[in-house]
Amino acid sequence: MLQHVFYSPERVVALDYAYADESGHWRTVFDQQTLDDVRVAYPDARVTTEREFKSLQHRHACTDPVEITADEYDDALGVMPPLNPTRIPGSASFMLREMYVGSVTTIYVCLESGDGPARCFKFRDKFTLTHRQVLERVERAIHGDQEASHVSDL
């Protein structure tokens, strides 16, 4: 069973699965290259467990919320049927069905305001986030690391 991968930390991309040969050297599955061979093309190449690589890949893929226009929000809503669309008084969110990597997708949020235009945001994170967790991420981005105390009011 293959449980290790060669990867490039700079690109956070898997290059090939890895196995230890009879002398204990890591080799690629595809063409049996050693780590030194792989580093000719990818000087930063490393070997890690598949689990750790997926964790690195997830952390690299997730982004902080950034403000977007209402038109960008609406355009994204029309790309394909949304995943986990949610609307409650004061806010709405949805996710793209297409995953960026693994279980990470792009999440869109719209915060409605009674006294001004809606504020819309997008970011990447796991598709398993609840609407409440999505709102908390946006509130932290708006207010920094301060406690997002009025999320419960949304």
5-36 pLDDT, tens digit each: 999 988 888 999 999 999 999 999 999 999 99
pLDDT value at residue 13? 87
Residues 52 and 69 in one domain: no
Residues 10 and 49 in one domain: yes
Residues 88 and 106 in one domain: yes
pLDDT value at residue 148? 42
User: By residue range, what is the domain housing residue 141?
Assistant: 63-153
**Of 60, 89, 104, which closes a domain?**
60
The 10s digit of each residue's pLDDT in 101-137 is: 889 999 999 999 877 789 999 999 999 999 999 999 9
Tokens 């990470």 correspond to what residue?
104
Confidence label for 147 from pLDDT (cuts 50, 70 and 90): very low
Q: Given its phi and psi angles, is residue 117 left (phi above 0), alpha (psi -120 to 50 degrees) or beta?
A: beta
Mean pLDDT of 138-154: 63
Residues 118 and 70 in one domain: yes
Total domain count, the chain: 2
Residues 30 and 72 in one domain: no
The 10s digit of each residue's pLDDT in 33-92 is: 999 999 999 999 999 999 999 999 988 999 999 999 999 999 999 989 999 999 999 999
**Of 16, 31, 60, which closes a domain?**
60
Residues 51 and 72 in one domain: no
Residue 148 DSSP code: -
pLDDT value at residue 150? 38
- For residue 88, CA distances in Å to 29, 41, 80, 151 come to 50, 51, 21, 12
Confidence label for 1 from pLDDT (cuts 50, 70 and 90): low
Continuous segment of H or E residues that includes residue 41: helix 35-41
For residues 49 and 3, is the Cβ–Cβ distance under 8 A? yes
User: What pTM was computed for the model?
Assistant: 0.77
Compute the distance between CA of residue 1 and CA of residue 143 in angstroms, rounded to an integer. 47
pLDDT value at residue 153? 38
